[in-house]
Amino acid sequence: MEFEGRDIISIRDFSLEEIRYILDSALRMEARMAEELCLLEGRILACLFFEPSTRTRLSFETAMKRLGGRVIGFSKAGVASVAKGENLTDTIKTVANYADVIVMRHPREGAARLAAEVSDVPVINAGDGSNQHPTQTLLDLYTIKKEKGRLDVTTAIVGDLKYGRTVHSLAHALAMFGAGLILVSPPGLEMPPEVLSDLRELGAEVTRSSLEEAVREAEVLYVTRIQKERFPDPEEYEKVKGAYKITPETLTKAREDLIVMHPLPRVDEISPEVDLTRHARYFQQVRNGIPVRMALLALVLGAE
């Protein structure tokens, strides 16, 4: 399977076989993480973060360094050429002369696709506005595959299903693999109709449910943050926040093998006591970001 020189922009660009190949490649990377790898020695990654990010940027930097490569970049658009009025196209064309691969986060939807079109080196999308965050989706899939051994799992997705970019691409990918989806969201933050119709076109069985019911049925509980700024009325936010909080009590009726995932950072949608239960997997999920991103960097640079 040919990945060299390819951009990683949207989960929609990948076939089932390609996703499986990336996940297998990540598994091989994970097995070799203790070694000092030099697969990308002499290669340079440019991390262009036009929007602040902690874990995604650090995770990419770690992945590159674990493969023996080096990292350049910026993490605030304010200090970049953008502040001087340079457009994105020119910034990317310039950076493509310095680096062998670009990882970019940008506040506008579609920025990553545009960057990929003007760049001579592969571009990996680390989040474009509320659109896509494909490496998050791949690490989510990797986590589910590792924990469950398969991807056609009944997954409950809880929280802000309207604006959350991770949930749209995760739901899309899970639907491709034949997973059943249970959607749990407060009124006004439901999955947008066009995303739902996409999921149904992929043949997914999608149901809406209460949190209690979802917890009883799901094999995977994927929790996302409900952002305060989405609510015009602060009281309404407080009500909703409480209703969707996961505590050890919420999980008493869960299946023995339920796993709880979260893209992090969490605020208070999962209580810290859940960390100690057999269900919590969110910190393993974060850890899985490294082998997945190592695999992607090595694949697009033709070193895997």
Question: Binding residues for another protein, per CB under 8 A?
Answer: 10, 12, 87-89, 106-111, 113-114, 128-132, 194
Q: Exposure string (b/e) for 8-19, b if CB count within 10 Å is 16 or more?
A: bbbbeebeeeeb
* Min dist. Cβ of residue 130 to another protein (A): 8
* Min dist. Cβ of residue 169 to another protein (A): 10
* Min dist. Cβ of residue 198 to another protein (A): 8
* Min dist. Cβ of residue 229 to another protein (A): 15
Q: Which is nearer to another protein, 10 or 119 (CB)?
A: 10
CA distance 265 to 174: 22
Q: Are 244 and 266 in contact (CB under 8 A)?
A: no
207 has which bridge partners? 182
* Min dist. Cβ of residue 39 to another protein (A): 32
Q: Which is nearer to another protein, 68 or 110 (CB)?
A: 110
* Min dist. Cβ of residue 103 to another protein (A): 17
Smallest Cα–Cα separation from 186: which of 210, 207, 213? 210
Q: Tell me the HSE value of 86 on the side-chain side, using a 13 A CA sphere.
A: 16
* Min dist. Cβ of residue 185 to another protein (A): 19
Q: Which is nearer to another protein, 169 or 250 (CB)?
A: 169
Q: Which is nearer to another protein, 149 or 203 (CB)?
A: 203
Q: Are 254 and 216 in contact (CB under 8 A)?
A: yes
- Residue 221 phi, psi dihedral angles, 5° rounding: -110, 110
Q: Is the dihedral of CA 43, 24, 225, 166 positive or negative?
A: positive
Q: Which is nearer to another protein, 195 or 280 (CB)?
A: 195
Q: Which is nearer to another protein, 42 or 78 (CB)?
A: 78
Q: Which is nearer to another protein, 7 or 61 (CB)?
A: 7
> 149 burial class (0-12, 13-18, 19+ CB within 10 angstroms)?
exposed
* Min dist. Cβ of residue 176 to another protein (A): 16
> Concatenated DSSP letters for 201-226?
HTT--EEE--HHHHHHH-SEEEE-PP
Angle between helices 55-66 and 134-148 (to 10 degrees): 70
Q: Which is nearer to another protein, 113 or 230 (CB)?
A: 113
Helix (H) or strand (E) holding 238: helix 234-243
